[in-house]
Structure 1
Amino acid sequence: MTARFFSRIPGVAALATVLLLLPVDSSAQARGKILHGFSGERDGMNPAGRLVGDGSGNLYGASTQGTQYGGGIVFELSPIPPDGWTGRVLYTFKNFDDGGYVWGLVRDQAGNLYGMTDGGSNRGTVFKVSPGNPGQEWTKTTLYEFCPLGYGTCTDGDQPLSHLTFDSQGNLYGTTPLGGDLSCQLNPGGGCGVVFKLTPSPNGMWTQTVLHAFSGKDGFSPWNTGLIFDSGGNLYGATTEGADLSCPVPSGDGCGLVFELSPENDGSWTETVLHVFHGDERGSVPLGDLVFDSAGKLYGTTLEGGDLSCSANPSYGCGIVFQLSPEPDGKWTEQVLHTFTGPDGVFPVGELTFDPSGNLYGVAEGGGYEQCPYNPSYHGCGTVFELVQNPLGLPRARVLRFNGKDGTYPQSGVVLDAAGNLYGTAWAGGPHGGGVVYEVYAPDFPAAEDR
Structure 2
Amino acid sequence: MKFRLGFTALAIATLAGISAASAIGFRTLHVFTDKQGGFTSAALALGPNGNLYGVTEATVFSVAPKGKFQLIHRFGNLDGVDGEWSGVVFDSAGNMFGTTQSAHGFGSGVYGTVFEIDSTGQETILHQFTPAPNGSVPLQGLTFDSLGNLYGTTSKGGLACHCGTVFRITTAGDFTLLHSFAPTEGALPWGGRLIIDHEGNLFGVTNQQGPNNCATGIGCGTIYKLDTSGLLTVLYAFQGGNDGSQPQGSLLADGSGNLYGTTFYGGGGSACSFGCGTIYKLAPDGTETVLYAFQDGSDGAFPEAGLVRDSAGNFYGVAFEGGDKLCRSGGNGCGTVFELTANGQFSVLHTFKATDGANPAGELLLSKRTLFGTTATGGGTGCGGNGCGTVFRVVL
TM-score, normalised on structure 1?
0.78
Q: 1:99 aligned to 2:64?
A: no
Q: How far apart are residue 49 of structure 1 and its match?
A: 1.3
Answer whether contact 1:280 1:308 (CA < 8 A) is retained. Answer: no
Answer whether contact 1:245 1:253 (CA < 8 A) is retained. Answer: no
Q: What CA deviation, in whole Å up to 9, does each residue of 1:409-442 have, x standing for no partner?
A: 1111111111x11100001111452110001112
Give secondary structure in 2 for the equivalent of 1:299.
Answer: strand
Answer whether contact 2:42 2:192 (CA < 8 A) is retained. Answer: no
- Of 200, 221, 226, which residue of structure 2 is paired with 1:233? 200
C-alpha distance in 2 between matches for 1:126 and 1:145 = 7
Answer whether contact 1:113 1:130 (CA < 8 A) is retained. Answer: yes
AA matched with 1:128: E
- Of 295, 316, 320, which residue of structure 1 is paired with 2:278? 320
Summarize the Cα distance change of 1:230–1:242 in structure 2 as closer, same or farther, 3 Å threshold. same
- Of 111, 120, 123, which residue of structure 1 is paired with 2:94? 111
In structure 1, the residue matched to 2:358 is 408
Summarize the Cα distance change of 1:26–1:235 in structure 2 as closer, same or farther, 3 Å threshold. closer
Q: 1:74 aligned to 2:60?
A: yes
- Of 296, 303, 307, which residue of structure 1 is paired with 2:257? 296
In structure 2, the residue matched to 1:13 is none
Answer whether contact 1:175 1:225 (CA < 8 A) is retained. Answer: no
Q: How far apart are residue 246 of structure 1 and its match?
A: 2.4
Matches within 5 A, 1:51-450: 51-64=44-57, 72-79=58-65, 84-95=66-77, 97-102=78-83, 103=85, 104-120=87-103, 121=108, 122-132=110-120, 138-147=121-130, 153-181=131-159, 183-184=160-161, 191-200=162-171, 204=172, 206-249=173-216, 252-264=217-229, 269-309=230-270, 311=271, 313-314=272-273, 316-326=274-284, 331-342=285-296, 343-373=298-328, 376=330, 379-390=332-343, 394-418=344-368, 420-432=369-381, 433-442=387-396
C-alpha distance in 1 between matches for 2:170 and 2:317 = 32
Q: How far apart are residue 51 of structure 1 and its match?
A: 0.1
Q: How far apart are residue 401 of structure 1 and its match?
A: 1.0
Summarize the Cα distance change of 1:171–1:344 in structure 2 as closer, same or farther, 3 Å threshold. same
AA matched with 1:199: T
C-alpha distance in 1 between matches for 2:25 and 2:304 = 23
AA matched with 1:258: I
Tell me: higher relative CO, structure 1 or 2? Use CA pairs within 8 A at least 6 residues apart. Answer: 2
| Greater Rg by CA | 1
Q: How far apart are residue 389 of structure 1 and its match?
A: 1.6
Answer whether contact 1:320 1:340 (CA < 8 A) is retained. Answer: yes
Give secondary structure in 2 for the equivalent of 1:156.
Answer: coil
Q: What CA deviation, in whole Å up to 9, does each residue of 1:56-90 have, x standing for no partner?
A: 421101111xxxxxxx11111124xxxx3312111
Q: How far apart are residue 395 of structure 1 and its match?
A: 4.0
What is the root-mean-square deviation in Å for CA atoms of aligned residues?
1.8
Summarize the Cα distance change of 1:26–1:299 in structure 2 as closer, same or farther, 3 Å threshold. closer
Q: What CA deviation, in whole Å up to 9, does each residue of 1:3-37 have, x standing for no partner?
A: xxxxxxxxxxxxxxxxxxxxx87897742111100
C-alpha distance in 2 between matches for 1:321 and 1:53 = 25
Q: How far apart are residue 94 of structure 1 and its match?
A: 2.4
Q: What CA deviation, in whole Å up to 9, does each residue of 1:78-115 have, x standing for no partner?
A: 24xxxx331211101123x2211112111111111111
Give secondary structure in 2 for the equivalent of 1:46.
Answer: coil
Runs of 4+ residues deviating >3 angstroms: 24-30, 394-399
Answer whether contact 1:365 1:382 (CA < 8 A) is retained. Answer: yes
Q: How far apart are residue 351 of structure 1 and its match?
A: 2.1
C-alpha distance in 1 between matches for 2:223 and 2:23 = 38
Q: How far apart are residue 260 of structure 1 and its match?
A: 0.3
Summarize the Cα distance change of 1:246–1:382 in structure 2 as closer, same or farther, 3 Å threshold. same
AA matched with 1:389: A
Question: Would you say how many aligned residue pairs link Structure 1 and Structure 2?
Answer: 366
C-alpha distance in 1 between matches for 2:365 and 2:93 = 21
Q: How far apart are residue 398 of structure 1 and its match?
A: 3.6
TM-score, normalised on structure 2?
0.88
- Of 16, 30, 35, which residue of structure 2 is paired with 1:36? 30
Q: How far apart are residue 245 of structure 1 and its match?
A: 4.2
**Structure 2, unpaired ranges of 5+:** 1-17, 382-386
